């Protein structure tokens, strides 16, 4: 019988629940801890990428033939292969990540050429000057959403029709390019997203019972998490904004809006695979 890591972790959680949960107080503590562990597990790919960026920024030798950016790219490929071989990621999730990798790389090529940000170090493994690891940074966003969707058994109330979500995602993606040449419509996109997702509810299961939160709140919290991760990435000189040329400082909070819109694209890609429907009441 093949070892199934997901089933093993599920069984271990169930055993610990039986052992430690004796009342509502211990249930709260156990569920809080379980929530944190599952979140960490869901962002495994992104966390490993950030760790590699920071460690190589601090300790990567300058006199080696292999540029740091290329080493990071090779590490990213290795992590992706291992996640699949160890069955820590499904082929379905890998397909989503691959699509988001392409979507992100295309935008990176355009954005660097118009000067939105730069990659300050040399690399051999690049696409039109953009190091190939950059696509994996976008893929880590898709990886997190795909994994957290499965790990927390996402269910929804008042889930918007996919056709409207796809239309919104397409308009968001187009605006990332066109706002350099024509008026920026991001505020209209924000309003449209609030109207589309504002009444939605997401249900998630950290332990044995589903809990709920407003869907928009979940999206905002994830966008904030990405913004924090971006600060780590720019500190490690994975990329730099023009105003960081003279020294690192925190990324403008205005970037949170851009990450919110980008997160919607990733969310819709995952939703197109899962095709969720409104949940049935849990008995």
- Domains of the chain, by residue range, sit at 43-274
Q: What is the DSSP letter of 278?
A: B
Q: Is 214 helix (H, G, I), strand (E, B) or coil?
A: strand
What local confidence, expressed as pLDDT, does residue 281 receive?
42
Q: How much is the pTM?
A: 0.89
What local confidence, expressed as pLDDT, does residue 282 receive?
44
What local confidence, expressed as pLDDT, does residue 283 receive?
35
Collect the ranges in the chain with pLDDT lower than 50. 281-283
How far apart are the C-alpha atoms of 211 and 203, rounded to whole Å?
Answer: 5
Cβ count within 10 A of residue 47: 15
Cβ count within 10 A of residue 266: 26
């Amino acid at each position: 019988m093949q070892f199934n890591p997901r089933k093993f972790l599920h069984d271990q959680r169930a055993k610990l629940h039986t052992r430690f949960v004796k009342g509502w107080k211990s249930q709260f503590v156990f569920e809080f801890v379980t929530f944190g562990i599952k979140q960490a597990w869901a962002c495994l790919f992104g966390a490993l990428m950030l760790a590699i960026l920071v460690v190589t920024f601090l300790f990567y030798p300058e006199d080696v033939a292999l540029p740091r950016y290329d080493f990071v790219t090779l590490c990213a490929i290795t992590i992706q292969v291992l996640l699949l071989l160890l069955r820590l990621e499904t082929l379905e999730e890998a397909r989503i990540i691959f699509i988001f990798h392409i979507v992100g790389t295309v935008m990176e090529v355009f954005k660097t050429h118009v000067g939105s940000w730069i990659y300050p170090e040399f690399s051999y493994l690049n696409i039109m000057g953009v190091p190939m690891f950059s696509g994996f940074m976008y893929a880590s966003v898709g990886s997190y959403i795909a994994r957290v969707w499965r790990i927390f058994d996402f269910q929804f109330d008042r889930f918007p029709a996919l056709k409207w979500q796809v239309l919104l995602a397409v308009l968001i993606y187009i605006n990332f390019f066109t706002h350099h040449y024509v008026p920026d419509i991001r505020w209209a996109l924000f309003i449209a997203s609030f109207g589309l997702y504002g009444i939605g509810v997401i249900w998630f299961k950290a332990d044995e019972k589903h809990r709920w939160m407003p869907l928009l709140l979940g999206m905002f919290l994830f966008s904030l998490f990405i913004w924090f991760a971006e600060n780590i990435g720019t500190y490690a000189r994975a990329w730099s904004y023009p105003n960081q040329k003279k020294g690192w400082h925190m990324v403008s909070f205005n970037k949170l809006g851009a990450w919110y819109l980008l997160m919607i694209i990733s969310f819709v890609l995952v939703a197109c695979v899962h095709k969720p429907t409104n949940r049935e009441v849990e008995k």
